[in-house]
Amino acid sequence: MSKPIAWGCLFLLAVVGATAKAKDVQTEILIRVKTDGNIPVMLLAPAKAEASAVLLKAGIRVRWETAGRRDSNALRECAGGVADVIDVLVTERAGRKENPGALGHALPFARFGVRVVIFYDRVAAMQTPPSTAILGFAMAHEIGHVLIGIDSHTLAGVMRAHWDELDYARMFAHVLAFAPEDAEAMRRRVSQKSRFCLEAGTASAAVTGESHIPSLVSPSQLAYPAGERER
């Protein structure tokens, strides 16, 4: 085999290997939802579909479960083929100390436990009957805080601090989306966690001969990229 052909084959193999490795990196997350109080169940399914759609546009695939299931409680990051697990609580009423006007809040720097809370009474007060679109976008907004790893807001899109009439019009038309920089930040962090899971599993398999992800180390402990916390 001539040298040009040999180098060409090596280059092709490298490209194929890199492509395969890129495909292995998952951007799927698991969201476990729990309700507290009188929450109409019929609203949750379309609201979750709305949140899934806007997150998918940003490159994040979502798997939903009901919190409290035996197999769900055992699942953590790096398990079940997902890069992150986020627990969401949809509560009937917002507490008195909650920020007036906020439809929910997030704990983007927490490692476990409920990291997103949605205030159903405030969502329901905005429109009669309650809007599944508003509920879904409220979920997506707070989940965005957790995925990006920030407690601040951006000037456009889903992550705005306060939606205006145009935002709501775009929301009801199903075209409101995450700003490109927010979508990129989410994909980067979720991919980073997924790579961590893949590398941890490969290292464990090399030692034990089994494919296993160490449970003592969480991808939540990964360092934030420079400037990730402050925007």
CA torsion angle 19 21 22 26 (round to 10):
140
Residue-wise pLDDT for 107-152, tens only, equals 999 988 899 999 999 999 999 999 999 999 999 999 999 999 999 9
What is the structure's pLDDT at 74?
47
What is the structure's pLDDT at 215?
29
In the chain, the domains with their CATH numbers are 26-184 (3.40.390.10)
Please check the confidence at residue 210 and state whether its pLDDT lies above 70: no
Residue-wise pLDDT for 54-77, tens only, equals 999 999 999 999 887 544 444 555
> Quick one: DSSP state of residue 21?
H
What is the structure's pLDDT at 77?
58
What is the structure's pLDDT at 80?
62
CB atoms inside a 10 Å sphere around CB 187: 16
What is the structure's pLDDT at 28?
87
Angle between helices 132-148 and 41-57 (to 10 degrees): 50
3-state secondary structure of 68: coil
Summary mean pLDDT of the chain:
77
Please check the confidence at residue 228 and state whether its pLDDT lies above 80: no
Q: Which residue has the tokens 């627990």?
A: 87
Taking each continuous run of H as one helix and of E as one strand, the counts in the chain are 7, 5
Residue-wise pLDDT for 29-50, tens only, equals 999 999 999 999 899 999 999 9
The Cα–Cα gap between 88 and 223 comes to 24
- 8 A C-beta contact, residue 13 and residue 4: no
The Cα–Cα gap between 58 and 52 comes to 10
Residue-wise pLDDT for 154-196, tens only, equals 999 999 999 999 999 999 999 999 999 999 999 999 988 878 7
Largest pairwise CA distance in the chain: 76
Q: Name the β-bridge partners of 29.
A: 62, 84
Label the pairing between strands 114-119 and 104-106: antiparallel
